Amino acid sequence: MRETGREITLGGLYIYPIKSLKGIALDEAGIERRGLEYDRRWMLVDEENIFITQRERPRMATIELALEAEGLLARAEGMEDLLIPYHTENPARASVRVWRSTCEAAFVSDRADEWFSRFLEAPCRLVYMPDETRRAVNPEYAVNHDIVSFADGYPFKIIGEASLDDLNGRLREPVPMNRFRPNFVLKGTAAFAEDEWEKILIGNTLFHVVKPCERCQITTIDQERGVRTGTEPLRTLATYRATDNKVLFGQYLIAEVEGGRLRVGDTVKIIARKDRAGNGHS
């Protein structure tokens, strides 16, 4: 489906500093190799150092985060505020697991561990991804030996507003964009136009559109209340957005280079499209 003919712009910009916690809407953000600055650089792990998400603990969605001068501020109902330094001084390291990949992470502090364990009513520890850690994306989709944060698999995720509008037109009760936890939300596209793109320019940064995003049970969790709401929107998405038993919504991106900045309102240009076989061409 082609674009609408209107100018395409960056309508929303989001980061999720601690994996699976509430996101932060930004006016602008820096681009790093592993994703937007601060995006998913922290993560909660269980006693076996395996990642924890809303799939197991829906209440994680209700923990609010804010970027402060001194560090990351976490807030939750019934809890005192927790300040998390941007760079941990804790020398303790461990190999942690995210899906099928493992990488080295640093433990943040006993205080952080106690805070999150108390709120989630389950033992857990907060870890940080040091700059020297290199967690590779799937080489099948890599552009240039790319790395990623604690995100599921790729540095950036994009969704068009029109794609959500299309979905909500099929639902009895509409769902907000935060169910899908994108980094970039685009204005001015046709529904699912992002499926056709191979390369796009956002502001002055070139991105490769490498693969569609497979959706999971997190889309069924109310991000304000931290509770499961049933089978929607996955049930409806599966009726028209399923391929090989995978429900697809949104696209993953990899930046050509790091170091740039993006701002809400930046123009988006389509540089190359996929052909029907999925190959790119200008």
Q: Domain residues of the chain, as ranges?
A: 8-281
Strands of the sheet containing 261-263, edge to edge, are 35-36, 28-32, 261-263
Short-list 182, 179, 164, CA closest to 229: 179
Q: Are 46 and 124 in contact (CB under 8 A)?
A: yes
Superfamily of domain 8-281, CATH level 4: PK beta-barrel domain-like (2.40.33.20)
Q: Which conformational region is residue 99 in: left (phi greater than 0), alpha (psi within -120 to 50 degrees), or beta?
A: left
pLDDT digits (tens, 9 = 90+) for 205-253: 999 999 999 999 999 999 999 999 999 999 999 999 999 999 999 999 9
Q: Are 84 and 71 in contact (CB under 8 A)?
A: yes
Short-list 176, 135, 138, 159, CA closest to 51: 135
Residue carrying structure tokens 């995003």: 213
The reported pTM is 0.94
Short-list 222, 180, 182, 135, CA closest to 13: 182
Mean pLDDT over the full length of the chain:
95
